[in-house]
Chains A and B, each alone.
Chain A
């Protein structure tokens, strides 16, 4: 059977099967070993007065996942078998996401000094289903946390519903008119737009040689690898070049507006609008920060604003 014979739904399920067949994919070790300051901070934020964790030097069970969270500047993210499935669902229009189940089993306490690592297994895709939120697929994966030795510390089953957001019927007058210029989204670019929805500027990286590239594409121009990952950019940049667009009119936009090539400290350039300042204030070398603008009820575009504002 060739790809041409397959419906998008078959393709999603086939990809899910392929990812499930990868089995457990082990991530790197946590940035920090289990430690008292992070436990104390967690207990404080939770309002948990239970001192026994600190007295015994063990992690609260529900804190298992915290140890392997990626942090703010995540750098190169661990590749997980879940990413491709979620990106394919985004590309197929199932852009909404809501977590439905989180089930954790704790096998033994993680002790202070132990460095945990997480292993992820994609365990299944079910759908399409009609749900209250719209048509969607339930994606399930399992994470197991290991410490020292082979015995797992904890495991988790996590399930999300990826759904196709319903077109709002009887849109109230206050709602924004649909923005006419929809960015093209496909499997190569879905991670980028998913990042934008989360307020992140994601830059594609080669999973083999680590080189960054933008715009996203299927093959690394440096080593020709097709393994892809991404990094989250700091969201800062400088104007490398720009134009002020006066004419012709552009649907959905008011002229004049600025289109700039922005150079990122990460080493790639990206095209975007410069906003929140008059066009004649823009110049080469101007320092910018990324900002995310809702163009209508669905489309969010990354743009650039002067850094000091």
Chain B
């Protein structure tokens, strides 16, 4: 897999969309991989007892998926500097999480991408992700 170079990134460039089916397996396997054993992320009955309609994605996974969405596009050598997420509606099992993104600014070597993760209820995550490309010599 190749990493993008500076001349391949323009302000306003649109990232390819990514759609993730939030099966219970996705919700549970990511909760466990992030060491988050809060019942609302794996126990349907427990989640309902709390007033949620089903189990839902944990925040550590939202952060991981946002990161993955950007590095899927930049390629493996980009260095993620910062991920700021504004959390919105829950991403329930059975829903679909659709990511879209746009390059919004460049500040020296740092690029910032605006990312939105949408589910059927609305915006699950509104994020900005800042990354740096490797310098030419090491690319």
Contacts and interface: CB of A to CB of B under 8 A. Distances in A.
Interface of A: 38, 41-42, 44-52, 60-63, 65-66, 69-72, 98-106, 197-200, 292-294, 297, 300
Given A62-B60, A69-B34, A199-B46, 18 more contacts: A46-B30, A46-B64, A48-B67, A48-B68, A52-B76, A62-B64, A66-B60, A99-B87, A101-B85, A103-B82, A103-B83, A103-B85, A105-B81, A106-B81, A197-B50, A198-B50, A292-B46, A292-B49
Given A46-B68, A48-B64, A52-B76, A62 B33 contact: no
A228 B117 CA distance: 40
Nearest to B3: A52
Given A50-B71, A66-B35, A69-B36, A105 B82 contact: yes
B48 to A, nearest CB: 8
Given A72-B37, A198-B39, A199-B39, A45 B59 contact: no
A199 B49 contact: yes
B87 to A, nearest CB: 5
B77 interface: yes
Contacts of B63: 62, 65, 102, 104
Contact of A46 (B1, B46, B61, B84): B61
A199 B86 CA distance: 27
B46 A42 contact: no
Contacts of B77: 52
Interface string B20-56: 1000001001101111111110010010011100000
A153 to B, nearest CB: 13
B65 interface: yes
Nearest to B34: A66
B121 to A, nearest CB: 13
Contacts of A297: 51
A47 B26 CA distance: 9
B15 interface: no
B80 interface: yes
B115 interface: no
Nearest to B50: A197
A101 B87 CA distance: 6
Contact of B80 (A38, A42, A62, A198): A62
